[in-house]
Amino acid sequence: MTIITHLINGEMRPANGRVTDVFNPATGEVIRQVELASKTTVEDAIAAAKAALPAWRNLPPARRAQILFRFKTLLEEHESQIVALISEEHGKTPEDAAGELRRGIENVEYATAAPELLKGEFSRNAGPHIDSWSDFHAVGVVAGITPFNFPAMVPLWMYPLAIACGNTFVLKPSERDPSSTLLIASLLQQAGLPAGVLNVVNGDKEAVDTLLESPDVKAISFVGSTPVAEYIYGEGTRRGKRVQALGGAKNHAVIMPDAELDNAVSALMGAAYGSCGERCMAISVAVCVGDQVAEALINKLIPKIEALKVGAGNQKGLDMGPLVTRAHLNKVTDYIHGGVAAGATLIVDGRRLAVAGYESGFFMGGCLFDQVTPEMRIYQEEIFGPVLCIVRVNSLEEAITLINDHEYGNGTCIFTRDGESARLFCNEIEVGMVGVNVPLPVPVAFHSFGGWKRSLFGDLHAYGPDGVRFYTRRKTITQRWPARISHEAAQFAFPSGQ
Ligand code: NAD
């Protein structure tokens, strides 16, 4: 059986350590194994990144960008191979995998603007004969730790921009679906990246803890669940690192009485059940303003949920594939049992879905709960499965209070035809990414991605302008020429430029 290893200093390491199984979630079979890097292996990757740093950060940004241009072309040329690997190991449909790759490529496109992004700021005559400028320097060796649900896109949020800014990088992807991530990294080598600038170590907590403990790792970008995000933020910042740690979510969609209901239903179907709900921006709560809206919405949703086409990830034209692992299927199933026990009404029950020919796959159909209330676990916690909960409220203000009281604040949206309601919602809502008639308001690559509250630990969001800030350190230089315009006496008052 193939054992996936690590890309260190431009070469694949031979396997010689602990391994874990990688499944095809549609068949339930083990298709590969992945080695879990030891402390020594991760230290080798950090050392390779450190050794590559001086030459890389001094390379003109335009030269770094040229490599990224070639990388983008290679990604597009290898789309079908990458998509097939994502679908095989994650389970998402090929169309969904292609969408994730496309959004990842947009981040590469943004990073090719490095010469423009790193130009800095200049003030002529900041004082008498004095010019001042700020420029942006690489932070050093940066680590990225990424989740299973976007094995192509989320790493591409991080390292293209980080290396464009002159940093070198150690990526620790999810051990559950590592193949597409590794293929993409090897394409960057092929594009001409010098050895050691990007290293990929597969692994678990041992690898992550080695990155956290290393004084040579100066910054960490993390995306994953909230408990791990909080751990990484705490341990990383305690050791003086710069950390941005993006966590979990519970995203609400508010449906106003004036919403264009058919469009809202279509939007909700894709946002709640696309990728089997395994998205940090998935809509998992529909907040209906008024019972009439709730009844109408439910009546339109039921037949659509029952008609969802669920099957193996390698087939086209499906709505949903399987969940990622059996353990995750069991976890989502337990939430549904819990919701029923807590008194919510399970209107559509997707448990025990059988897909012909794939009886051992980790499949679940779409589920819909009504009469969900805020004290229930299915409302409070991130289920990360194809489960939509209906919560009924009486007003927009009540909906806003409900959402603001939730511990997560990643994404949200409102369906309405009323500009005043939309504007109030956008102003008052305590959530980082907001959609108005847009169910998955994932910011484009030239904005930045991040939630509020316990959906993000740190100050700067991922990619886009915040990404440039995160991956650079500012240096401000104040310079006077000519150096001797007159013989000045020493000044003991604070220099004011007057
Ligand atoms: P996860 O937290 O289990 O794993 C994320 C990464 O952390 C993986 O690389 C994993 O190996 C590592 N890890 C896991 N447990 C660890 C531990 N105890 N100590 C150190 N490292 C550990 O997340 P997941 O299940 O892979 O992904 C799903 C989660 O990611 C969901 O909560 C989802 O909302 C979140 N997510 C968030 C965003 C966002 O932008 N906010 C985007 C995608 C996914």
Tell me whether the omega of the peptide bond preceding residue 482 falls within 30 degrees of 0, making it cis.
Answer: yes
Q: Could you tell me the pTM of the whole model?
A: 0.96
Atom 17 in ligand 1: residue holding the nearest Cα? 205
Is the beta carbon of 278 within 6 A of some atom in ligand 1? no
User: What's the CA-to-centroid distance between 492 and ligand 1, angstroms?
Assistant: 54
pLDDT in the model for residue 352: 85
Q: Which domains does the chain have, with CATH numbers?
A: 3-247+455-477 (3.40.605.10), 251-436 (3.40.309.10)
pLDDT in tens, 240-249: 999 999 999 9
**Under a CB-based contact definition with an 8 Å cutoff, are residues 434 and 459 in contact?**
no
Is the beta carbon of 144 within 6 A of some atom in ligand 1? no
User: What's the CA-to-centroid distance between 201 and ligand 1, angstroms?
Assistant: 16
Atom 30 in ligand 1: residue holding the nearest Cα? 224
Confidence check: pLDDT of 497 > 80: no
pLDDT in the model for residue 490: 82
pLDDT in tens, 26-57: 999 999 999 999 999 999 999 999 999 999 99
User: What's the CA-to-centroid distance between 223 and ligand 1, angstroms?
Assistant: 6
Confidence of residue 315 (pLDDT cuts 50, 70, 90): confident
Tokens of 1: 């059986």
How many Cβ atoms are within 10 Å of 423's Cβ, its own excluded? 11
pLDDT in the model for residue 494: 87
What's the first-to-final CA gap in the chain, in angstroms? 74
Q: What are the backbone dihedrals phi and psi of residue 114, each rounded to the nearest 5 degrees, phi first?
A: -50, -45
- Cα separation, 27 vs 146, in Å, equals 25
Tokens of 103: 């959004």
- Cα separation, 434 vs 422, in Å, equals 10
pLDDT in tens, 124-152: 999 989 999 999 999 999 999 999 999 99
Alpha helix segments (H runs only) across 274-383: 291-306, 326-341, 377-380
pLDDT in the model for residue 316: 83
Q: Which residue has the tokens 């959402």?
A: 403
pLDDT in the model for residue 394: 98
User: What's the CA-to-centroid distance between 225 and ligand 1, angstroms?
Assistant: 4
Confidence of residue 491 (pLDDT cuts 50, 70, 90): confident
Query: Hey, which of 35, 39, 89, 148 would you mutate to test ligand 1's pocket, going by the most ligand atoms within 8 Å of its Cβ?
Result: 148
Residues belonging to the active site: 280
Confidence check: pLDDT of 485 > 70: no
Is the beta carbon of 149 within 6 A of some atom in ligand 1? yes
Is the beta carbon of 202 within 6 A of some atom in ligand 1? no
- Stretch 105-111: mean pLDDT: 98
pLDDT in tens, 153-208: 999 999 999 999 999 999 999 999 999 999 999 999 999 999 999 999 999 999 99
Tokens of 164: 């464009």
pLDDT in the model for residue 493: 85
Confidence check: pLDDT of 482 > 90: no
Pairing of strands 121-127, 130-138: antiparallel
- Cα separation, 38 vs 35, in Å, equals 9
DSSP conformation letters of 47-108: HHHHHHHHHHHHS-HHHHHHHHHHHHHHHHHTHHHHHHHHHHHH---HHHHHHHHHHHHHHH
**Under a CB-based contact definition with an 8 Å cutoff, are residues 108 and 75 in contact?**
yes
Share of the chain above pLDDT 90, in %: 94
Is the beta carbon of 174 within 6 A of some atom in ligand 1? yes
Closest CA to 37 of 48, 51, 26: 48
Tell me the sheet residues that pair with 8: 11
- Cα separation, 498 vs 492, in Å, equals 14
Tokens of 100: 């994730």
pLDDT in tens, 425-474: 999 999 999 999 999 999 999 999 999 999 999 999 999 999 999 999 99
Q: Which residue has the tokens 């086409």?
A: 309
Q: Which atom of ligand 1 is nearest the CA belonging to 229?
A: 2
User: What's the CA-to-centroid distance between 115 and ligand 1, angstroms?
Assistant: 32
Which of helix, strand or coil describes residue 285?
strand
- Stretch 291-310: mean pLDDT: 97
**Under a CB-based contact definition with an 8 Å cutoff, are residues 261 and 183 in contact?**
no
